[in-house]
């Protein structure tokens, strides 16, 4: 070896041939794909990519191996992939590495189907990626970023139903002609004298310890006549272009480490004859290449995944697939974070809870005061016979427990509480409990975003309607007759959004007339509807198919409302007012939906807020805010009080006193 030499270094491991005249070959990387990589790809596929099969930039990581007979391992981690669509679209910078994770650029080709994976032209793809390496050499890019010399790519198919991932990696290597021939290959300690070896080790350790160069494992080494070693970037090749390369001969160093330090016994120094053909100097040349791993690999993550995580992924799969083609505007974040309070855990409550979970709602509170009866399980889908035994379980608690068994990730809570109702006077010894229930119901409504009114009686909907109007919360009612149903969303409360002093108004937040609530069409206050009733009148006797229909419509109404830009202030629409589907991807947003099962008919209606409403009018909400629970207690004990307060009494008396004077005389034909 000359006293002054220049060596091109590679972090790949060379063969251990000691003789001369052998073809120079470099061991390819060994791939290792971490589970986190597939989880990140799954999220990226479902949330951002959809059907897009465009190449995805990757970053692989490797470090010099410490074993003399083991190839370097290229690892793909979660951070190898972009975390979201914005990063994928706007930030193609390579992930940062460190001395144990040197970054290497790569590309992912993920196919939508197994058939398209098999149909890929692997030879053409390998040549395409190898051409990128050759282009980077001609353009000089390798001088600024030598990691592109180790470029790799991966083809894959992700079966997200079965959590099975099929993949095949390739590390393109240019095939030059004629092949490079090894003249000599020895451990570095046998080539360098002690001073050169110590200086080179120190320079290499300094190079690897610097944050600027720790990931740069293609470099130039110069050893001066005084045994001092210097390491340079490839861009400085002109400074030593006359050293180490004579008559097509080139010296190279295959760098190895042991316990994080340069090891001259494991590192190899060789000399080879390289005579690249003229074709390789042609920028338009499509080079021959090798580099595919021997065979594709398959990994199944279903067994290694937490069952709860599997359940969440499976539940979200259908919703995320909706965004690929039909509903790209579907906001799963809003749906998963919205807090829903279900008043009533009966036939309607059970169905609504299931529908909410199907739409990705994860925060559900059920409120009911009853026990599970023997007649419940066949109609109410969250109960079984076991819930009926020993007198019956508390409905709300049992329903929440079943929701968690169905889907462990749901945040379900059961609250046992009786809703105070007008027409049901409160005994003196029960006043404190009823007032406590009123306060607790107010707190529940205030802490939730949406309240579903799903109770059996009309009067049980009054207080929740009033509290929702006062808190300006979304309220949705579903009510059943024997063969008819009503589903409606209540309008916004009588709050003036332009005045933050809690003033009241009959105008909604958009300046239009407010939509009405469940009680706006009534001319009498809610009263006791359960006393002195026969058994069929006490029970909710309906055709079994009504509850699923009404429950589904109630939840669909909420989803549409949550995606409307005006939210609770969205105007009511009827069937013939639908605009283009691009403007309203969920269709119209009705105020009321009324259906008749005997005719299999359904109509959409709009009803505006009434100034005399006993539940949401300015007068009633103002009185609630002024007197609080004292007002509620008076309305419960004296139902006519609400009629007097809102002017309904005067309206009824005026109507009863109105008389018509009939003219008994018959007009002549000439007068008609």
326-342 residue pLDDT tens: 788 889 899 999 999 99
Contact 130, 175 (CB under 8 A): no
Predicted pLDDT at 659: 57
| Residues of the chain with confidence (pLDDT) below 50 | 1-17, 19, 90-91, 496-503, 534-538, 577-582, 669-672
Among candidate residues 370, 416, 418, the one with its CA nearest the CA of residue 391? 370
* DSSP E strands, 403-449: 411-416
The helices-and-strands tally (H runs, E runs) of the chain is 19, 26
Distance from chain centroid for Cα 128: 34
Half-sphere exposure of 584 (CA within 13 A, CB side): 14
Fold classified for 180-274: Cytidine Deaminase; domain 2 (3.40.140)
Burial tier of 495 (Cβ tally within 10 Å: 0-12, 13-18, 19+)? buried
Contact 380, 350 (CB under 8 A): yes
Tokens for 433, please give them. 């409990």
Distance from chain centroid for Cα 522: 43
Predicted pLDDT at 377: 94
Q: How far apart are CA 132 and CA 412, in angstroms?
A: 54
Q: How far apart are CA 305 and CA 313, in angstroms?
A: 10
Distance from chain centroid for Cα 482: 40
Contact 314, 306 (CB under 8 A): no
Q: How far apart are CA 567 and CA 110, in angstroms?
A: 38
Q: Specify which residues 288 forms β-bridges with.
A: 175
Contact 72, 13 (CB under 8 A): yes
Predicted pLDDT at 175: 81
Fold classified for 27-172+287-300: Cytidine Deaminase; domain 2 (3.40.140)
Helix (H) or strand (E) segment spanning residue 33? strand 30-33
Q: Residue 84, Cβ neighbours under 10 Å: how many?
A: 14
The answer as to CATH 3.40.50.720 being correct for domain 308-671 is yes
Predicted pLDDT at 657: 66
Residues in the chain: 672
**CA angle, 585 as apex, 584 and 590 as ends, to 5°?**
55
Residues contacting residue 479 through CB under 8 Å, at least 6 positions apart: 485, 486, 487, 518, 550
Half-sphere exposure of 152 (CA within 13 A, CB side): 26
Catalytic one among 280, 539, 613, 616? Answer: 539
**CA angle, 159 as apex, 158 and 165 as ends, to 5°?**
50
Predicted pLDDT at 70: 65
Tokens for 569, please give them. 């202030």
Helix (H) or strand (E) segment spanning residue 340? strand 339-343
Q: How far apart are CA 244 and CA 8, in angstroms?
A: 9
Predicted pLDDT at 17: 45
Residues contacting residue 474 through CB under 8 Å, at least 6 positions apart: 449, 450, 451, 468, 489, 490, 558, 561, 567, 568
Distance from chain centroid for Cα 124: 36
Q: How far apart are CA 304 and CA 297, in angstroms?
A: 17
**CA angle, 104 as apex, 100 and 109 as ends, to 5°?**
130
Helix (H) or strand (E) segment spanning residue 186? strand 181-187
The pTM of this model reads: 0.68
Domain ranges of the chain: 27-172+287-300, 180-274, 308-671
In this structure, which long-range contacts are made by residues 1-5, counting pairs with CB atoms below 8 Å and at least 24 apart in sequence? 1/191, 1/192, 1/251, 2/243, 3/223, 3/224, 3/225, 4/222, 4/223, 4/224, 4/225, 4/243, 5/222, 5/223, 5/243, 5/244, 5/251
Buried/exposed code over 71-83 (b: 16+ C-beta within 10 A; e: otherwise): ebebbbbebbbbe
Question: Using H for helix, E for strand and C for coil, what is the string for 111-151?
Answer: ECCHHHHHHCCHHHHHHHHHHHHHHHHHHCHHHHCHHHHHC
Write the DSSP symbol of residue 515.
Answer: B
Predicted pLDDT at 416: 96
Q: How far apart are CA 230 and CA 211, in angstroms?
A: 18
Half-sphere exposure of 503 (CA within 13 A, CB side): 11
Helix (H) or strand (E) segment spanning residue 198? helix 194-209
Write the DSSP symbol of residue 236.
Answer: G
Q: How far apart are CA 463 and CA 420, in angstroms?
A: 7
Among candidate residues 118, 112, 110, the one with its CA nearest the CA of residue 88? 110
Determine the 3-state secondary structure of 338 from DSSP: coil
Write the DSSP symbol of residue 163.
Answer: T
Contact 549, 485 (CB under 8 A): yes
Asked if 539 is an active-site residue, the reply is: yes
* DSSP E strands, 268-338: 268-273, 288-292, 297-300
Contact 146, 234 (CB under 8 A): yes
Q: How far apart are CA 418 and CA 369, in angstroms?
A: 5
Burial tier of 507 (Cβ tally within 10 Å: 0-12, 13-18, 19+)? middle
| Domains 27-172+287-300 and 180-274 in one fold | yes
Q: Specify which residues 229 forms β-bridges with.
A: 223
């Amino acid at each position: 070896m000359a006293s002054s030499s220049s060596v091109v270094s590679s972090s790949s491991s060379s063969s251990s041939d000691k003789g001369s005249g052998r073809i120079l070959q470099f061991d390819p990387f060994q791939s290792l794909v971490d589970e986190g990589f597939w989880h990140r790809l799954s999220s990226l596929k479902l949330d951002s990519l959809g059907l897009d099969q465009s190449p995805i930039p990757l970053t692989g990581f490797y470090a010099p191996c410490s074993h003399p007979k083991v190839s370097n391992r290229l690892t793909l981690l979660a951070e190898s992939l972009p975390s979201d669509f914005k990063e994928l679209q706007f930030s193609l910078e390579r992930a940062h590495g460190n001395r144990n994770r040197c970054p290497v650029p790569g590309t992912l080709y993920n196919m939508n189907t197994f058939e398209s994976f098999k149909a890929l032209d692997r030879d053409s793809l390998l040549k395409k990626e190898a051409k990128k390496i050759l282009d980077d050499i001609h353009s000089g890019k390798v001088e600024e970023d030598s990691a592109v010399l180790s470029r790799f790519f991966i083809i894959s198919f992700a079966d997200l139903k079965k959590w099975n991932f099929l993949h095949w990696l390739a590390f393109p290597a240019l095939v030059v002609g004629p092949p490079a021939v090894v003249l000599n290959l020895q451990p570095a300690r046998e080539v360098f004298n002690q001073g050169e070896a110590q200086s080179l080790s120190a320079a290499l350790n300094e190079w690897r310890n610097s944050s600027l160069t720790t990931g740069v494992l293609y470099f130039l080494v110069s050893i001066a006549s005084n045994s001092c070693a210097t390491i340079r970037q490839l861009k400085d090749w002109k400074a030593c272009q006359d050293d180490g390369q004579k008559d097509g001969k080139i010296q190279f160093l295959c760098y190895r480490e042991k316990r994080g330090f340069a090891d001259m016994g494991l590192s190899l120094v060789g000399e080879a004859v390289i005579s690249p053909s003229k074709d390789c100097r042609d920028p338009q040349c499509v080079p021959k290449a090798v580099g595919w791993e021997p065979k594709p690999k398959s990994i199944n993550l279903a067994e290694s995944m937490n069952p709860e995580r599997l359940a969440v992924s499976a539940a979200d799969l259908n919703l995320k697939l909706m965004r690929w083609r039909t509903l790209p505007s579907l906001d799963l974040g809003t749906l998963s974070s919205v807090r829903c309070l279900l008043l009533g855990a009966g036939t309607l409550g059970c169905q609504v809870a299931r529908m909410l979970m199907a739409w990705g709602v994860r925060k559900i509170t059920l409120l009911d005061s009853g026990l599970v009866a023997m007649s419940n399980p066949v109609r109410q889908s969250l109960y079984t016979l076991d819930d009926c035994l020993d007198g019956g379980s508390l409905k709300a608690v049992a329903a929440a427990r079943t929701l968690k068994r169905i889907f462990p990730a749901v945040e379900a809570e059961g609250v046992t509480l009786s809703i105070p109702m007008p027409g049901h006077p409160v005994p003196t010894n029960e006043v404190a409990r009823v007032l406590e229930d009123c306060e607790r119901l107010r707190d529940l409504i205030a802490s939730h975003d949406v309240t579903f009114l799903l109770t059996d009686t009309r009067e049980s909907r009054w207080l929740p309607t009033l509290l929702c109007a006062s808190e300006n919360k979304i309220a949705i009612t579903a009510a059943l007759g024997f063969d008819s149903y009503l589903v409606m969303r209540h309008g916004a409360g009588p709050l003036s959004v332009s005045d933050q002093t809690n003033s009241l108004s009959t105008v909604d937040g958009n300046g239009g007339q407010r939509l009405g609530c469940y009680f706006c069409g009534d001319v009498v206050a809610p009263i006791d509807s359960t006393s002195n009733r026969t058994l069929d009148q006490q029970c909710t006797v309906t055709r079994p198919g009504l509850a699923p229909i009404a429950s589904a419509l109630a939840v669909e109404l909420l989803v549409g409302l949550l995606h409307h830009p005006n939210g609770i202030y969205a105007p009511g629409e009827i069937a013939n007012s639908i605009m283009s589907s691009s403007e309203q991807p969920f269709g119209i947003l009705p105020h009321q939906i009324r259906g008749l099962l005997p005719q299999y008919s359904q109509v959409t209606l709009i009803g505006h807020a009434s100034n005399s409403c006993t539940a949401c009018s300015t007068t009633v909400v103002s009185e609630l805010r002024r007197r609080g629970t004292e007002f509620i207690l008076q309305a419960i004990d004296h139902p006519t009080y609400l009629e007097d307060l809102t002017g309904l009494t005067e309206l009824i008396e005026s109507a009863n006193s109105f008389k018509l004077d009939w003219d008994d005389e018959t007009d002549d034909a000439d007068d008609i």
